[in-house]
Structure 1
Amino acid sequence: MTSELLRNAYERSERYLSEIDSQRVFPATSDLTALTGFEEPFPETGHTPEDILRQLDELGASATVASAGSRYFGFVVGGSLPVAVGANWMATAWDQVASSSVTSPVADKIEKVTSQWLLDVLDLPRQSAIGFVTGATMATFTALAAARHKILKKQGWNVEEDGLFGAPEIKVIVSDEVHVTVLKALSMLGFGKSRVIKIPTDTNGAMDISALPVLDSRTIVCTQAGNVNSGAFDPIDEICDHAQVADAWVHVDGAFGLWARSSSSKAYLACGIEKADSWAADGHKWLNTPYDGGVVVCRDDEALHGAMSVSAAYLKDRDRASQSYIPEFSKRARGIDIWAALKFLGRDGVDDLISGCCDLAQYFAKGLEALGLNILNDVVLNQIVVSWDSAEKTEALIHTVQQDGTCWFGPTVWKGHNAFRLSVSSWKITRQDIDLSLKAIEDSMQKIETSK
Structure 2
Amino acid sequence: MRDLLARAAELAAAYRASLPDRPVALAADPAALRAGFGGPLSQRPSPPSQVLEELARAAEPGLVATAGPRFFGFVIGGALPAATAADVLATGWDQNGFNAVLSPAAAAAEEAAGGWLKELLGIPATASTGFVTGGQAANTVGLAAARHHVLAEASWDVERNGLTGAPRVRVVASEERHATIDRALRLLGFGTRAVEPVATDAQGAIDTEDLERVLAAGRGPVIVCLQAGNVNTGACDDLRAACELTHRHGGWAHVDGAFGLWAAANPATAALLDGVGLADSWACDGHKWLNVPYDSGFVFCARPAVHAEAIAYRAAYLVGAGEVSGMGDLTLESSRRARGFAVWAALRELGRDGVAELVDRCCRLARRFAGALADGGAEIANDVVLNQVLVSFGDDARTDAVTAAVQRDGTCWLGGTTWRGRRYLRISVSGWTTTEADVDRSAAAILRLAGRAPST
Sort the TM-score into its range (normalised by shorter chain): over 0.9
* Two-structure CA RMSD over aligned residues (Å): 1.5
Report the more deviating stretch, 3-12 or 21-30.
21-30
1:414-436: CA deviations, max 9, x gaps? 11111110000010100000111
Q: Answer whether contact 1:143 1:279 (CA < 8 A) is retained.
A: yes
What's the TM-score, normalizing by structure 2?
Answer: 0.96
Report the CA distance between 1:300 and its aligned residue: 0.3
Report the CA distance between 1:31 and its aligned residue: 7.8
1:317-366: CA deviations, max 9, x gaps? 33525111111111111111111111111110000000110011111100
Partner of 1:305: 308
Output the CA distance in 2 between the equivalents of 1:140 and 1:217.
22
Output the CA distance in 2 between the equivalents of 1:113 and 1:29.
42
Output the CA distance in 2 between the equivalents of 1:186 and 1:57.
40
The counterpart of 1:377, out of the listed 348, 369, 382, is 382
Q: Does residue 1:431 correspond to 2:432, yes or no?
A: no
Report the CA distance between 1:48 and its aligned residue: 2.1
Aligned-partner residue type, residue 323 of structure 1: G
Report the CA distance between 1:312 and its aligned residue: 2.2
Report the CA distance between 1:198 and its aligned residue: 1.1
* Secondary structure class of the residue paired with 2:357: helix
Report the CA distance between 1:61 and its aligned residue: 2.3
User: Where in structure 2 are the equivalents of 1:277-426 lying within 5 Å?
Assistant: 277-315=280-318, 316-318=321-323, 320-426=325-431
Q: Does residue 1:225 correspond to 2:228, yes or no?
A: yes
Report the CA distance between 1:21 and its aligned residue: 1.9
Partner of 1:166: 165
Report the CA distance between 1:204 and its aligned residue: 0.7
Q: Answer whether contact 1:217 1:246 (CA < 8 A) is retained.
A: no
What's the TM-score, normalizing by structure 1?
Answer: 0.97
Q: Answer whether contact 1:284 1:294 (CA < 8 A) is retained.
A: yes
Structure 1 unaligned runs (5+)? none
**What is the identity percentage for the equivalent residue pairs of Structure 1 and Structure 2?**
42
Partner of 1:10: 9
* Secondary structure class of the residue paired with 2:192: coil
Q: Does residue 1:24 correspond to 2:23, yes or no?
A: yes
Aligned-partner residue type, residue 270 of structure 1: L
Output the CA distance in 2 between the equivalents of 1:124 and 1:87.
26
Q: Answer whether contact 1:155 1:168 (CA < 8 A) is retained.
A: yes
Report the CA distance between 1:35 and its aligned residue: 4.1
1:382-426: CA deviations, max 9, x gaps? 000111011111111111111110000001001111111000001
Partner of 1:127: 126
* Secondary structure class of the residue paired with 2:102: coil
User: Where in structure 2 are the equivalents of 1:107-256 lying within 5 Å?
Assistant: 107-212=106-211, 213-214=214-215, 218-256=221-259
Output the CA distance in 2 between the equivalents of 1:29 and 1:284.
25
Partner of 1:262: 265
Output the CA distance in 2 between the equivalents of 1:66 and 1:31.
17
Q: Answer whether contact 1:289 1:338 (CA < 8 A) is retained.
A: yes
Structure 2 unaligned runs (5+)? none
Aligned-partner residue type, residue 314 of structure 1: Y
Q: Answer whether contact 2:387 2:429 (CA < 8 A) is retained.
A: yes
* Secondary structure class of the residue paired with 2:19: helix
Output the CA distance in 1 between the equivalents of 2:328 and 2:58.
38
Partner of 1:273: 276
Output the CA distance in 1 between the equivalents of 2:322 and 2:402.
56
Output the CA distance in 2 between the equivalents of 1:242 and 1:217.
15
Instruction: Give the paired residue count.
Output: 450
1:249-288: CA deviations, max 9, x gaps? 0000000000000011000000011100000000000000
Q: Answer whether contact 1:288 1:427 (CA < 8 A) is retained.
A: yes
Aligned-partner residue type, residue 104 of structure 1: S
Output the CA distance in 2 between the equivalents of 1:61 and 1:253.
35
Report the CA distance between 1:446 and its aligned residue: 2.4
Report the CA distance between 1:195 and its aligned residue: 2.2
Aligned-partner residue type, residue 205 of structure 1: G
User: Where in structure 2 are the equivalents of 1:56-71 lying within 5 Å?
Assistant: 56-71=55-70
* 4+ runs deviating over 6 angstroms: none
Report the CA distance between 1:100 and its aligned residue: 1.0
Output the CA distance in 2 between the equivalents of 1:79 and 1:42.
33
Report the more deviating stretch, 351-360 or 19-28.
19-28
Output the CA distance in 2 between the equivalents of 1:27 and 1:39.
21
Report the CA distance between 1:30 and its aligned residue: 4.6
1:146-195: CA deviations, max 9, x gaps? 11111111111111111111111100011111111111011100110122
Distance change >3 Å, CA 32–CA 125, structure 1 → 2? farther
Report the CA distance between 1:38 and its aligned residue: 1.2
Report the more deviating stretch, 80-89 or 60-69.
60-69
Q: Answer whether contact 1:77 1:284 (CA < 8 A) is retained.
A: yes
Output the CA distance in 2 between the equivalents of 1:233 and 1:217.
27
Report the more deviating stretch, 308-317 or 63-72.
308-317
Output the CA distance in 1 between the equivalents of 2:360 and 2:87.
25
Output the CA distance in 1 between the equivalents of 2:171 and 2:65.
38
* Secondary structure class of the residue paired with 2:193: coil
Output the CA distance in 2 between the equivalents of 1:165 and 1:30.
50
Report the CA distance between 1:447 and its aligned residue: 2.5
Output the CA distance in 2 between the equivalents of 1:141 and 1:305.
14
Output the CA distance in 2 between the equivalents of 1:236 and 1:367.
32
